[in-house]
Amino acid sequence: MSNLEGVVFYPQDSMEDIIISNLTEFLRQGLLEMGAYYNVGTGNLIPLVASGHNFQYYYGRKPQWIWEDFTPKSTGLVDPVSISGILVNGVFVSTGTAYNGTGYIIDYPRGRIVFDHPLPSGTSVAAPHSYPHVTIYPQDSEASRKIQDDYFTMQPSGNPTLSSKIYLPTILVGVEGQNTISGSQLGSRDKITDFTIQFDILANNNWDADKLKDILTNLENKSFYFYNSNIAPKNFNSDGSLKSTAAIWSELSNDYPYRGPVRFKEDARVSKFKRISTQLWHNRVRISLEIFVSPY
């Protein structure tokens, strides 16, 4: 056993990793249950035309396609589409099969169909699916960097590129600091720690920016359990295809609980930045998250 405490195995997820993975999935599940998603019928996907990849990748309108099996909390909503196959030139090709000898996978996080080999130019590919109205990413993710580079650095005109507009509205989740506030009991090394959570909301209209701001500030005093991302199975393979063990956040937190409950404190702070361009609104919500931390 190492003489250092709090980490059993160096490559395991850090405390911040556990926080961000839980909060992104917690928010995603909640927003989907509210009905913040769209169902797509048979609209054609857009092929990627690039050297070496012509007509092998076919993209939907937005990333983070819905795979979760859940019942919307609001009455009257149509359930999300469960993808059972795709249409190639109007021919239905069920998942796990091939079109003219070419297999494919569904890359849910990136919102695309990936074929084993390029298809002939002019081939139409459609995939009935659902996608979220709001995308959610960690602050240090590739998608987050792309969005922020585009809006704050790469586009001096203030006009976003189409590739970045597909992410909006989005919530970027980060941990901005931590502070130990108390020990849990006399003689114990267990402690209660406050983590400052920062949610950056980027939207192309004021309504979405303010709606998401309201939802996040209403997290005050909410208590729930995290799941332990060090032992819970991952939902996706490296290529974005869905694993057979995939489970929604509430199932993971029930089956693989992480220590004690966590609680958002009653201290939400909101910053509303001036509109950066004619197409971007930016709200920021900071709120403390109280977590039981043990070195053992």
Q: How confident is the model at residue 154 (pLDDT cuts 50, 70, 90)?
A: very low
162 has pLDDT over 60: no
Q: How confident is the model at residue 188 (pLDDT cuts 50, 70, 90)?
A: low
d(CA 107, CA 157): 33
The pLDDT value recorded for residue 13 is 83
Q: How confident is the model at residue 276 (pLDDT cuts 50, 70, 90)?
A: low
The pLDDT value recorded for residue 36 is 95
Name beta bridge partners: 179: 194
Say if CB 24 and CB 136 are below 8 A apart. yes
Cβ burial 16-50 (10 Å sphere, 16+ → b, else e): eebbbbbbbbbbbbebbbebbbeebeeeebebeee
Residue located via tokens 């976003």: 160
d(CA 157, CA 165): 15
List pLDDT tens digits, range 215-258. 999 999 999 999 999 999 999 999 999 999 999 999 999 999 99
Where do the domains of the chain lie, and which CATH numbers do they carry?
1-36+133-296 (3.30.2000.10), 37-132 (no CATH)
Q: DSSP E strands: which ranges in the chain?
A: 37-40, 46-47, 57-59, 85-88, 91-94, 98-99, 102-107, 112-115, 125-126, 129-132, 135-138, 170-183, 191-203, 223-224, 262-264, 269-277, 280-293
Question: What percent of the chain stands above pLDDT 90?
Answer: 65
Average pLDDT, integer, range 10-17: 83
Mean pLDDT, the chain, as a whole number? 88
60 has pLDDT over 90: yes
The pLDDT value recorded for residue 189 is 59
- Pull the structure tokens for residue 185: 């009991």
